[in-house]
Amino acid sequence: MHPVTQPLKVALLGCGVVGSAVARQLTDDAEDLAARVGAPLELIGVAVRDASQPRPESGVTPDLFTTDADSLVTRADLVVELMGGEEPARSLLLRAIEHGAGVVTANKALLGTDGPTLYAAADERGVDLSFEASVAGAIPLLRPLRESLAGDDVQRVMGIVNGTTNFILDKMDRTGAALADVLAEAQQLGYAEADPTADVEGYDAQAKAAILASLAFHTRVATGDVHCEGIMGVTAEDIKDARKIGMVIKLLAICDRTPDGVSARVHPTLVPRSHPLASVHDAFNAVFLDTALAGELMFYGRGAGARPTASAVLGDLVQAARHRIDGGHGPRESAYAELPILPIARTHTSYFIRLEVRDEPGVLARVANSFGAQGISIESMRQGVRRSADGLATLQLVTHPAADAALAATVEGLREVDDVHDVRSVLRVEGL
């Protein structure tokens, strides 16, 4: 065991859902944390917007709350940023680093847009920048990527990294309910925020995918480089169709390394019910890695919530604190590969397409021709019963993998085919 040294001064920026759980644990578990670090972690201040608000759940004495985050960060050895948003979080973290503090953050929004600025500052000052909680909450995923797998080559990262949307899609799958109804329930239960835009539009997963792709492929991938489609277009009918063909719809973040470069995308995806991601229920997260040496790895656990997220934050804090005592620092930015980032058009996927077509001779052949014309092979086709009212029938197709651009062109082409009354649904498929 280390000889215990002088306390290390910790500043906390934010005392909301995650911040209050971190503060509480710093108090409740102070002795163990001190023993693991080799020095007590002394909370010297907590920056919030409203310092007069009572926050008994945090266990922080009222005198420690401040609205003067600027000065607080200059007095700390270690700064934990749990405010969220881009500003003032970015300026405060840079200020903390400039003053020599090791920093910990859960701020995926900031890292996804401006990670390299933070990395550069931490590198120059020789301090830690850690952010385990920014992706998949409690799940140890970023440290394995940055450290344990540093000698391997990651080929693919694919997973469920947003708990709110997984809760919604899972509930739709289990009950057949419409998205709007389940979203309202998710808000009542506190999974989805009052403004759930970032979750349901996929932006939260998009930022996380950028962080994952950057670490996995040693290449800078920003949030804007990640193709993003949210779940608002997923209907109860889509869920029902997926069920009929033995699949389930999940919002997946998928990052691939190909011979031509890397791609990152977030979109609702059909996966076979036999695939392990299909069994990820409620607000849980799960991420698959496919690597050259280790092969397949799966990480599963709670991706959000006060205490699970605090677990990841505290792990980073202990590590940064140890570095303050022993010297050294955590891994630097690794972006040496500088691989090209491919547009969605160049990624390869399978598609599920549901069409309403005239139930007449020759229609199937003409539909199949539209795929053939783009060089796309059909994996399976299923026709529903002809409706006597309008003479239309539903056609469900799953394609073999093909370039996304070719699939998109096929769908556009199908809309022009006279026999096709409507293209009702287009979803990508993975894990076949």
- Which one-letter DSSP state was computed for residue 136? T
Residue 82 as a binder of ligand NDP (CB under 6 A): the answer is yes
Catalytic residue among 9, 171, 208, 250: 208
User: Is residue 301 a known part of a binding site?
Assistant: no
Tokens encoding 163 = 């708990």
Closest CB to ligand NDP among residues 14, 102:
14
Whether 208 is a known active-site residue: answer yes
The radius of gyration computed from the CA coordinates of the chain, to the nearest angstrom, equals 24
Closest CB to ligand HSE among residues 43, 266:
266
Please report, as ranges, the residues that interact with ligand HSE according to CB under 6 A. Answer: 137, 162-164, 199, 204, 303-304
162 contacts which partner out of ligand NDP, ligand HSE, none, CB within 5 to 8 A by kind?
ligand HSE
Cβ-based burial of 112 (10 A; exposed 0-12, middle 13-18, buried ≥19): buried
- CB-based contact 367:417 (threshold 8 Å): yes
Tokens encoding 104 = 């910990």
Residue 402 as a binder of ligand NDP (CB under 6 A): the answer is no
- Which one-letter DSSP state was computed for residue 342? P
Residue 309 as a binder of ligand NDP (CB under 6 A): the answer is yes
Angle at 378 between CA 245 and CA 236, to 5 degrees: 35
Q: Which residues pair with 350 in a beta bridge?
A: 429
- Which residue's Cβ lies closest to ligand NDP? 16
Q: Which among 121, 123, 141, 117 is positioned nearest to 131, based on CA atoms?
A: 141
At residue 138, what is the residue type? A
Number of residues near ligand NDP (by CB under 6 A): 24
We find the least distance from the C-beta atom of residue 304 to ligand HSE, in angstroms, to be 4
Q: Which among 231, 230, 229 is positioned nearest to 171, based on CA atoms?
A: 231
Q: Which among 382, 159, 425, 108 is positioned nearest to 287, based on CA atoms?
A: 159
User: Is residue 18 a known part of a binding site?
Assistant: yes
Closest CB to ligand NDP among residues 144, 308:
308
Q: Which residues pair with 185 in a beta bridge?
A: none
Which region among 8-16, 234-242, 332-340, 367-375 touches ligand NDP (by CB under 6 A)?
A: 8-16
We find the least distance from the C-beta atom of residue 137 to ligand HSE, in angstroms, to be 6
Tokens encoding 350 = 């399978």
318 contacts which partner out of ligand NDP, ligand HSE, none, CB within 5 to 8 A by kind?
none
Binding mask 133-172 for ligand NDP (x = CB under 6 A): x---x-----------------------------------
Binding-site positions for L-homoserine: 193
Active site residues: 208
Per CB under 6 A, residues contacting ligand NDP are 14-19, 47-50, 53, 69, 82-84, 88, 106-108, 133, 137, 304-305, 309
